Amino acid sequence: MHGILYLCATPIGNLEDMTFRAIRILREVDLIAAEDTRRTRKLLTHFEIHTPMIRFDENCKASVAEKILQRLLAGESVAVVSDAGLPAISDPGTDLVKLAIDAGIKVCPIPGANAALSALICSGLDTSKFLFAGFAPKTKKNRREFFEKLSTIEATLIFYEAPHRLKNFLEELAEVFGEREIVLARELTKVHEEFLRGKISELLEKISEPRGEFVVVVEGKKFSEPATPEENIFEVVEKFMAAGLDKKSAMRETAKKFNVSRREIYNRLLGTGK
């Protein structure tokens, strides 16, 4: 019999968010694979959990994953924990889950705190359709492409960002998204928890030196209403561009609105020299 791989949530700030089940599983497994053993040690001490631990972070994950797999195959059970929240969400775990599934090992979630969903449910933005985008790429060019792709999605978007990169992130977001509603969820579940709501430019003015942990929740692109008889193609393209879209995206959105091909929009603009 193989062991079970548990993906175990831990609090994102408030220790009371640890679940009874998480404590029991962490006590019962043979091994805990932790992103930061020093940090997890504090948590384990607090809850009187004495299970052995192994370091499992981005730098050592390939070699450690192999060791964990061997122990699972030998019948031992292992719990993966990250520094905070759910493992495998912008944290190590994904590769190990894939390896375990391929090896026929049972993978079991131990749900609990998660920053993205906690921010979303308090954002006041549409929760019926959302996309978790995680951290934006590090280089400016890749970030721009990433934002451009996301700007056309008709669903609420959720990002993670470090405080020292937040201003830059919001400035570049505004360049691509124009004036969208956003919510900055700061220090969730902690003493200084707060939600800042408004347009991107308004929040940029409010945060001079961002401190703490942030989730950025962004209103999705509004669903394209079909064009009315009064609207004309040229004005609509210009309106989309004024809202922050580049010319190509503006033409694509206009084509959707008028239910015609992008080529047709292109030809019509070309015909007028615009």
Instruction: Give yes or no for residue 161 binding ligand SAM (CB under 6 A).
Output: yes
Angle between helices 140-150 and 166-177 (to 10 degrees): 50
- For strands 181-186 and 214-218, give the pairing: antiparallel
Instruction: Give yes or no for residue 115 binding ligand SAM (CB under 6 A).
Output: yes
Residues 163 and 143: their CA atoms lie apart, in Å, by 17
Alpha helices in the chain (DSSP H): 20-28, 37-46, 61-73, 94-102, 115-123, 140-150, 166-177, 200-206, 233-242, 247-258, 262-272
- What residues from 50 to 89 belong to the interface with ligand SAM (CB under 6 A)? 82, 84-86, 89
Stretch that binds ligand SAM, among 51-59, 120-128, 186-194, 258-266 (CB under 6 A): 186-194
Give the containing element (helix H, strand E) for 218. strand 214-218
Instruction: Give yes or no for residue 214 binding ligand SAM (CB under 6 A).
Output: yes
The smaller minimum CB distance to ligand SAM, of residues 112 and 198, is found at 112
Instruction: Give yes or no for residue 160 binding ligand SAM (CB under 6 A).
Output: yes
The smaller minimum CB distance to ligand SAM, of residues 69 and 116, is found at 116
Six-digit token pair at 5?
Answer: 């791989």
Residues 53, 32 contacting (CB under 8 angstroms): yes
The smaller minimum CB distance to ligand SAM, of residues 164 and 263, is found at 164
Q: Pick from 19, 37, 51, 90: which binds ligand SAM (CB under 6 A)? A: 90
Residues 122 and 195: their CA atoms lie apart, in Å, by 8
Stretch that binds ligand SAM, among 57-65, 156-164, 197-205, 238-246 (CB under 6 A): 156-164
**How many residues of this chain interact with ligand SAM, rule: CB under 6 A?**
23
Applying CB under 6 A, which residues contact ligand SAM? 12-13, 82, 84-86, 89-91, 114-116, 160-162, 185, 187-190, 213-215
